[in-house]
Structure 1
Amino acid sequence: MAEINLELLTTEETSHYDNLDKMSVKEILEGINNEDKTVPYAVEKAIPQIEALVSQIVLRMKKGGRLFYIGAGTSGRLGVVDASECPPTFGVPFDLVVGLIAGGDGAIRKAVENAEDDIEQAWKDLLKYNINELDTLIGIAASGRTPYVIGGLNKARENGLLTGSISCNSDSEISKAAEYPIEAISGPEFVTGSTRMKSGTAQKLILNMISTSVMIQLGRVRGNRMVDMQLSNNKLVVRAENMVMKELGIEREEAEALLQVHGSVRASVDAYRAKH
């Protein structure tokens, strides 16, 4: 892969702020907050790109396809987080949305040296999941130049998968590798080059938008409620009881009994209505 001139990347441009080490705590916090305010506007400009990708993902997932994220460092961790939240939030199988990070699961907590520079490894990681042409692969890289991600996207595209990307630089390498690139140009970081900040926030917002809109389109939300969420702790059980009570106009005791029998808000509501 050709050597990248980091000076050409927006994410590597010099911060709008200087002498950070001379600032008061309040000045630092206000500066970070001022920069963060610009991120949703960068994401807003990318909505047409996000819409195009989501529409294609939904078509494939309705036929049995899955969604995979790949990334390194912060980008990889964000993909893993988004994927891991889908089963408890939407009640889908744990392997419907999968996040992979360069260096393996150990890299979630501790950086793995040179893992992101292996252009062949992502595809090897994906093959363990029997990945196929119904699946979608989204590569995540703030710089848009991570070899692990680019290699995975190129192989996926060669094998007929739907490919998308999320980056924070224009005309990046992963945008060229993906059929449906998303570019949120969030600008220089408060700490120059620290893409875990604004770039990471932009990526997180976009991942939220992708997974949530896909799940809604797949019927995993009713009205505005997570009717298929897993009841894995007391807070979620109470939330589910409240949903059932509001939806059916019944008391908590009856809602609790329904949930104990049927296991989800959707199943409880449907079972109750089938009898009344």
Structure 2
Amino acid sequence: MEYTKITETPSNHNDLEKMDSLSLLRKINEEDQKVADAVAEVIPQISKLVDGLAERFEKGGRLFYIGAGTSGRLGILDASEIPPTFGMPHSRVIGLIAGGDTAIRKSVENAEDDMVQAWKDMMEHHITDNDVVVGIAASGTTPYVLGGIADAKKHGVLTAGITNNPGSPLALAVDIPIEINVGPEFLTGSTRMKSGTSQKLALNMISTALMIRIGRVKGNKMVNMQLSNSKLVDRGTRYVSEGLGIDYAEAEKLLKKHGSVKAAIDAGS
């Protein structure tokens, strides 16, 4: 297959070891400023994914992220933040990484080269054709991701792929390709940098827009967030106070009685 591996092209900057700290940081930031514009170019594709997800979530479907290395960790990060932020069960957005949980902290040798493991990992969660699989791979060539996508499609599962190499195997394999061209990395080939940043932005957009679409947000407030510490109880109390026009003490009592901002506001309305 012929396509340009943009993630492997030489950096726009050279002689990095000769730069002082200030110069290095300014040059890195110069490259980072290109990332948001690259993500903006693929918003129509992200929108298609969010629409597909919202339709399936209303029927009880789930979102699976699959990836290796940095990409896998970013998927797990996004999935792990859904329950505390939106009060959804951990089982609705699931992040899977080549090499399993060990690979979250440490590299697992050759794990990403296994073409069949991703589907095995998804099968442990009893994946169905009502779910959605999003493969994340800067290169667009990771076997763990490509194998998982191929198996998902065989079973009628909607698939999407986030990659930084337009025209890559991942982009061609999925139903909804999200091809974010951020250009060469500041440090040649180091996709934990701009590529990873672009993936984080896209994942933020996907999950946040989805949660809003399925009713987990009211106005601009996280009304279903878990009240797992004093900071969040305080935030929730202020949301209830503002939403109902009552004082802080009354709002706090109502929040603690009903257990969520949404339930407290509904009860007090």
- Which deviations, in whole Å up to 9, do the C-alpha atoms of 1:200-228 show, x marking residues without a partner? 00000000000000000000000000000
Aligned to 1:228: 224
What displacement does 1:247 show? 0.8
* SS at structure 2 position matched to 1:111: coil
1:69 aligns to 2:65 (yes or no): yes
1:163-196 per-residue CA deviation (whole Å, 9 max, x = no partner) reads 0010001111111111011000001000000000
Structure 1: state its 5+ residue gaps. Answer: none
Q: Which of 116, 121, 124 is the equivalent residue of 2:120? A: 124
Moved over 4 A (4+): none
Partner of 1:40: 36
Match of 2:261 in 1: 265
Q: CA deviation at 1:23?
A: 0.2
Superposed displacement of residue 126, structure 1 = 0.5
Which residue does the alignment assign to 1:31? 27
1:13 alignment counterpart: 9
Please give the alpha-carbon distance, in whole angstroms, between the structure 2 residues aligned to 1:55 and 1:184: 19
Deviations 1:216-243 (A, max 9, x none): 0000000000000000011111100110
List per-residue Cα deviations over 1:57-101 (Å, max 9, x = no partner): 111111110000000000000000000000000000111000000
1:207 paired residue number: 203
Q: Secondary structure in 2 aligned to 1:166?
A: strand
TM-score by length of 2: 0.98
2:21 & 2:32 partners in 1: Cα distance?
17
2:156 aligned to 138, 141, 160, which one? 160
Root-mean-square deviation over aligned CA pairs = 1.1
Aligned equivalent of 1:184: 180
In the comparison of the two structures, how many residue pairs are matched? Answer: 269
Give TM-score, length-normalised by structure 1: 0.96
Amino acid at match of 1:28: L
Percent identical among aligned pairs is 57
Where does structure 2 lack aligned partners over 5 or more consecutive residues?
none
Matched, 1:147 2:143: yes
Match of 2:86 in 1: 90
